[in-house]
């Protein structure tokens, strides 16, 4: 127990709660936080395992809100591109991709926050494009939930539908990339001591997030999600330039 970093685990719990409220998963916060404590590839491996448990919790808690059509149109391209991104992560300098991701998240979230009535047509094409970028980013950088969050926020879904569908897609992504990361050697034996703690945190964080979410009116939900995405985009950029 003396080798366990409990501050990291507390921050993981906070990331899970916020990720549940925002509807785009904890990795969008967990990956930047994890980079302060572990090497980049260890964070990728831990994130995939952590997400498997947290998304199972969300699926169970919000299962009645699942949108099956959106699950297919976003989920299938996400799985294909997370595998591609996972394999490419071994050969591409992630710093440049993190800069692009940070700028993209800040720019798009600001656009939707400033232009609050602006929406993207809920078309199959937009869902496929969003799912592809989300999956590719998840495989390459460890986090793609914010991109999927932007896509799904544009569809202006009811919050239970948003979270249930997002969690199910995320679970499929995480299962796929865990296999790829294992093949890449990202899941290290010395990090496995954190896995039981992260499984428990995934369940507790989802439960707390659900209780908080029940108190948030629907009209505030979209703005809250976009605000979280803006914040993590800024944090991503700051983290890159202070390294």
| Per-10-residue mean pLDDT, the chain, length 243 | 77 82 71 78 82 73 73 89 89 75 81 72 82 87 76 74 80 86 83 82 83 74 76 81 71
Match 């916020």 to its residue by tokens. 18
Nearest in space to 24 (alpha carbons), one of 148, 177, 172, 194: 148
Tokens of 112: 């939707």
Tokens of 227: 């605000």
pLDDT of res. 83: 93
Match 């409990």 to its residue by tokens. 6
CA torsion sign for 57, 71, 104, 139 is: positive
Nearest in space to 24 (alpha carbons), one of 236, 221, 239, 214: 221
pLDDT of res. 65: 66
- The residue count of the chain comes to 243
pLDDT of res. 214: 78
Q: Where in the chain are the domains?
A: 6-241
State the Cα–Cα distance between residues 15 and 31, nearest whole angstrom: 9
- Residue by residue, DSSP assigns 38-73 as S-HHHHHHHHHHHHHHHHHHHHHHHGGG--HHHHHH
State the Cα–Cα distance between residues 133 and 123, nearest whole angstrom: 16
CB 19 within 8 A of CB 25: yes
The whole model's pTM is what? 0.73
Residue 204 parent element (H or E):
helix 195-213
């Amino acid at each position: 127990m003396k080798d366990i970093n409990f501050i990291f685990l507390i921050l993981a719990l906070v990331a899970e709660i916020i990720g549940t409220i925002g509807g785009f998963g904890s990795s969008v916060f967990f990956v930047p936080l994890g980079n302060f404590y572990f090497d980049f590839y260890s964070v990728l491996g831990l994130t995939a395992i952590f997400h498997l448990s947290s998304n199972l919790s969300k699926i169970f808690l919000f299962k009645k809100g699942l949108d099956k059509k959106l699950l297919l149109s976003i989920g299938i391209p996400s799985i294909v591109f997370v595998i591609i991104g996972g394999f490419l992560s071994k050969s591409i300098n992630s710093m440049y991709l993190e800069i692009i991701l940070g700028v993209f998240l800040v720019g798009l979230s600001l656009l939707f926050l400033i232009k609050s009535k602006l929406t993207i047509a809920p078309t199959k094409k937009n869902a496929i494009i969003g799912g592809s970028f989300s999956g590719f980013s998840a495989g390459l950088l460890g986090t793609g939930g914010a991109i999927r969050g932007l896509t799904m926020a544009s569809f202006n879904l009811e919050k239970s539908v948003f979270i249930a569908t997002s969690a199910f897609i995320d679970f499929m992504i995480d299962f796929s990339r865990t296999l790829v990361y294992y093949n890449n050697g990202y899941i290290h034996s010395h990090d496995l001591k954190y896995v039981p703690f992260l499984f428990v945190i995934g369940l507790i964080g989802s439960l707390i997030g659900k209780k908080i979410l029940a108190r948030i009116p629907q009209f505030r939900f979209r703005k809250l999600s976009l605000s979280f995405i803006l914040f993590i985009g800024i944090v991503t950029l700051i983290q890159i330039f202070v390294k």
